[in-house]
Amino acid sequence: MAKRLSLLLAALLLAAVLTGCAQEKENVPQRPEQKTQTVKLYFASEDNERLVTEERQIALKAGEDKYTTVLQALIKGPENDNYRVNISPNTRVYGTIKQDNKLIVDVNDDFTRFDGSMAEILGIAAFVNTLTQFAEIDEVKILVEGEELKGPSGMPRGWMKTFPMQPETAVEQSRPSAAAPAKPGPSQVKRNVTLYFANQDATKVVPETRTISVPSNITTAGYIKMIVSELIKGPRNSDLRRTIPAEATVRSVAVKDTTAYVDFSSEMHSKHSGGAAGESMTINSIINTLTELDNINQVQITVEGKPLSIEHVVMDKPQGRNAHMIHH
């Protein structure tokens, strides 16, 4: 009798244990579903002169912000030892906001700690391109601690589209070869440019924003040529004065590293009004306009292949931005 009672108690105890385990198993929180997606991460080449890509498998949890996850993988850096990441490893992504086909990303201040101008260009380009690879994202705006990321001019960078994979270094000639076969024209995109014209007393240059249509596949040199052509047209604001003779034309543009080389026709000299003030306005107008571009830090101006020489200055070497001459 005692033996049968012991066996019964043991059986009941075992059943209780098994029931408890089953209930415990049911109460274990289920792991959220995961899916793996192949993405491209954009980095800089070993010489830090162009963008390169690296495919990566990213595990995305249900309900997780995929843009933040992909950016965290980008910030962590490349697996290829020959690639470079120009974004500080201390960069934190606070969050993202999607507005139709645009994405706003808020990061901490460490994002702005770039090691030089080329590192800044490629770091921002890698950040933007990694996000615009997604079909639903066309433009990206970066906020730093809630404030818009600013360019070298101190103006907000605003919405940014996909950057070209390699900075343009070829020469863009003003007259295409007559032998070149006709090709279908590329699609056009709208871009906002900041042009600098002279104030009434020719003591400062004043910014004027203009929207222009450019080919979607335009080179950096071609884009610069279009911007300078807008300068030649003169200001739309009647309170401002033109800085380049209307008869002048752009003969060629070349870009090397972060320097733009712009060559004008002889009318830059022969039709110029002259004077030290007029000379200063011309130089500061062109240089401050072109250094608005992310990848241009200096400008060399020539006329028919020779250094610009209007009044007192012989511009025999590239010059950088002169913020003191800008009226804000």
Residue 246 or 311, more confident: 246
Amino acid 63: pLDDT: 81
Which pLDDT band, with edges at 50, 70 and 90, does 108 fall under? Answer: very high
Mean pLDDT of 311-321: 90
Amino acid 280: pLDDT: 93
Amino acid 47: pLDDT: 82
Amino acid 169: pLDDT: 40
Dihedral sign for Cα atoms in the order 286, 287, 288, 290 = positive
Which pLDDT band, with edges at 50, 70 and 90, does 216 fall under? Answer: confident
Which pLDDT band, with edges at 50, 70 and 90, does 145 fall under? Answer: very high
Given a cut of 50, whether residue 161 has pLDDT beyond it is yes
Mean pLDDT of 199-227: 92
CB burial of 51-63 (b: ≥16 within 10 Å; e: otherwise) equals bbbbebeeebeee
Amino acid 183: pLDDT: 46
Given a cut of 60, whether residue 276 has pLDDT beyond it is yes
Mean pLDDT of 295-322: 92
Mean pLDDT of 190-204: 94
Mean pLDDT of the chain: 85
d(CA 109, CA 88): 10
Which pLDDT band, with edges at 50, 70 and 90, does 31 fall under? Answer: low
Amino acid 187: pLDDT: 76
The candidate with the shortest Cα–Cα distance to 199, out of 166, 161, 243, 156, is: 243
Does residue 299 contact residue 291 with C-beta atoms inside 8 Å? yes
